[in-house]
Structure 1
């Protein structure tokens, strides 16, 4: 049996007619950059995320970059964030000239640990603390970070909070949607995301109308009106084609998220029935709405061998992320070393993502678990 990590072709078949209809209309209009389709998506995403405003952008990475620029973060500034996430989180901080300051993660959710965050800040001298300008928590794998203590700490120091919600559209924390709690919310429409485009795309959410207006100006090279520039922005515009496709998918998103959650529940049943719960550690649902962008298990021994075994049996899996950010070669100037963030490093050694997409069948899930059981019990 073949079980891919993600099956976008199966999803496409359910929306194909709508996609072809809207893309044909865009081809006829020859209106490809920004425009009414982007405006429509921005309104729908803002409503979905329960936040006042949204600005469509060229990618999730550019959503982070644009937010940092809008917040005025640059050389000499420090930004607190996690070492266990996709590279773009810290890469965007570096690109604006600021310094990422890494904080270890929670061992059950893999999100930024508020306790470690407090310790990191407490260990800073006053001069260093004054250079901190923002916190970038990541809502990893589809579950929100523990935001209340993060927001409280930021408010105490006057720091900006930029939510990296690239994997978490629709996830909730104490009834609040990802992207609605911080000053900025950054989302990715990369095709593999729960809400994916047919190419790159992203969006920034904001609660403050003034921030929203500033984001729109920076999105088009800082020009307002056209050819008149009070700021240096960038080309962060969202294509109309991508916006139209994402808007179609948005109508299905809650159903797809429910299917992912149901698949997660079925995995729990199957792993329990196979007697594997003491050897395979399953995701913890700590916050109020986990949308399972990934279903990540922890295997304390022989993770890589298990991945190879799954591949040999035609089962897709993925390691997110094999090298924590503080150990990436490009961040060597920061002076971090192996052992500095033991929880993140342990996660990098032991975690493995299994297929969780909405179209996954019961038979496919049973095959995945049976294959893992055969490996573990060998």
Structure 2
């Protein structure tokens, strides 16, 4: 059983993906070629924003967002304590200070009430100028952007949406990738929309920010790449990866609907046995992961039981960000008990558009201790 089955997806799309790759090999424009521009247009239309800018990876996308918003030394950025390391890593990379905020236990996402409290505490201590908030849409579910956008507007803060795991999700009619001043995504292969290597994108409705981002991704170029008007990065999306994504994007919603069916089957079968993921009314999850919570101290035994019958599992994440050794200089005052608790409880199960009902039944039976 595969945790995420990229091979079956490729077999379905093989003829179209191979044809796209052959076209790129023929025209030879391997960096920022025509497929990149075509993909950027389709991504922007899909998300309902004015601009999509392809970049080298999701981490660069976050760093470029901070750079475009002119976040730097002396600034502070509020962000979730429960996410992948890259979310916080980019903040010191631009010279700013991360401030860790706790999450909601049922959504795994940034807690608006905790964010308000963190802003109040910061205003009393004045450790750096608060400049921005990075919210992460964990496991596919968009964060509570109606409340987060209102808080950021109230306190004059930029809002960055990290939609790496939620691309394809939505709140009402607004797609993930359209929230905040800037949104980012990753095309890492395991993401809801993934390529066959590294890739990412940045989204914005601001013409000014889009111009800055297009410059920053190519060494801060001006009129051409030898006219450098700002300090930037080398972060260009490969044309081959864009070509692959052009064939994956049209099936994204169909794949999400299939994963929704599996999510509902999991929830129906496991109700009462575990704390299960919840999708609020009006929200659409991209279902990047199916993550349940188990009692502290029981996770290893459960993982071993599943492993013994061939069921792969993953833990996202073993350690909250304010507990990471590399971030201890910024975390001495962080108080994020929910994030700490989740790091001991979360367990992600196989869920992808190409699994079978029989495979899922085996996972459920093993979880409930009924596997033959």
Residues 319-330 of structure 1: matches in 2 within 5 Å? 319-330=315-326
| Residue segments in structure 2 that go unaligned for 5+ positions in a row | none
- Counterpart in the other structure of 2:231: 232
Partner SS state of residue 79, structure 1: strand
CA distance in 2, matches of 1:333, 1:270: 44
CA distance in 1, matches of 2:294, 2:71: 39
CA distance in 1, matches of 2:209, 2:200: 17
Which of 262, 283, 290 is matched with 1:288 structurally? Answer: 283
Partner SS state of residue 65, structure 1: helix
Partner SS state of residue 126, structure 2: helix
User: Offset of 1:54 from its aligned partner?
Assistant: 0.4
- Counterpart in the other structure of 1:274: none
- Counterpart in the other structure of 1:72: 70
- Counterpart in the other structure of 1:166: 164
- Counterpart in the other structure of 2:256: 257
CA distance in 2, matches of 1:58, 1:205: 14
Partner SS state of residue 123, structure 1: helix
Which of 299, 303, 309 is matched with 1:307 structurally? Answer: 303
CA distance in 2, matches of 1:80, 1:133: 8
CA distance in 1, matches of 2:124, 2:149: 20
Alpha-carbon deviations, 1:72-130, whole Å to 9, x = none? 01111100000100111000111111111001000100000001111111122356277
Alpha-carbon deviations, 1:114-172, whole Å to 9, x = none? 01111111122356277000000101100011111211111122211110110011211
Partner SS state of residue 132, structure 2: strand
Write out the 4+ residue segments of structure 1 that deviate beyond 6 Å after TM superposition. none
| Residue segments in structure 1 that go unaligned for 5+ positions in a row | 272-276
Alpha-carbon deviations, 1:184-242, whole Å to 9, x = none? 11000000011110100000000111111111011110011221111011111000000
Residues 73-152 of structure 1: matches in 2 within 5 Å? 73-125=71-123, 128=126, 131-152=129-150
CA distance in 2, matches of 1:126, 1:369: 50
Asked whether the equivalents of residues 74 and 128 of structure 2 are also in contact (C-alpha less than 8 Å), the reply is no
Q: Output the TM-score relative to the length of structure 1.
A: 0.95
Partner SS state of residue 159, structure 2: strand
1:27 aligns with 2:25: yes
Alpha-carbon deviations, 1:274-311, whole Å to 9, x = none? xxx33311111125111200000111140122112211
Asked whether the equivalents of residues 83 and 326 of structure 1 are also in contact (C-alpha less than 8 Å), the reply is yes
Asked whether the equivalents of residues 270 and 366 of structure 1 are also in contact (C-alpha less than 8 Å), the reply is no
CA distance in 2, matches of 1:20, 1:293: 25
Q: Output the TM-score relative to the length of structure 2.
A: 0.96
Partner SS state of residue 22, structure 1: helix
Partner SS state of residue 64, structure 2: helix
Asked whether the equivalents of residues 323 and 331 of structure 2 are also in contact (C-alpha less than 8 Å), the reply is no
Partner SS state of residue 55, structure 1: strand
CA distance in 1, matches of 2:203, 2:184: 7
Residues 177-256 of structure 1: matches in 2 within 5 Å? 177-226=175-224, 227-256=226-255
Asked whether the equivalents of residues 121 and 129 of structure 1 are also in contact (C-alpha less than 8 Å), the reply is no
Q: Which moved more, 1:66-75 or 1:150-159?
A: 150-159
